[in-house]
Amino acid sequence: MTLKIVVLASIKKGKEDRLRELAKWVSGEIKATELDVSHYEMFVADRDKEGTKEGVVYLHIKDEEAFVRRRELGHHKEFAGVVEKEGLLETPLRYLKLTDIVDEWHR
């Protein structure tokens, strides 16, 4: 069953451009190599704390096994290493698995 996942990233003030650069790179790697990911969107939102941003990723992935397996892929390990080394986030990435409560619809 397809999983719907939201990833939240509290970006440190002044680090937005560097994180955006890395996010674009990893997004390209995901598109090119992760065939189990069928939908991928990335956003940035203003946070309550003045001048800070929250990164938001929304994705669909084939199943739980694919979701767990992707953590071991080289581009995810490299992304995590750079983020940690350069101190780009205020807190670790947060992953939320979404459950539908009403049928999906579009206009």
> What's this model's pTM, rounded to 2 decimal places?
0.89
Q: Mean pLDDT in each 10-residue stretch from start to end of the chain (107 residues)?
A: 95 94 96 97 87 92 96 96 96 94 83
User: What CA–CA distance (Å, rounded) separates 69 from 85?
Assistant: 23
Return the C-alpha torsion angle 11, 98, 60, 57, nearest 10: -10
Q: What is the pLDDT of residue 94?
A: 96
Q: What is the pLDDT of residue 36?
A: 97
Give the ranges where 34-63 is alpha helix by DSSP (H): none
User: What CA–CA distance (Å, rounded) separates 103 from 105?
Assistant: 6
Q: What is the pLDDT of residue 2?
A: 93
Domain-by-domain residue ranges, the chain? 3-95
Tell me the CATH number of domain 3-95, given options 3.40.50.720, 3.30.830.10, 3.40.50.10890, 3.30.70.100.
3.30.70.100
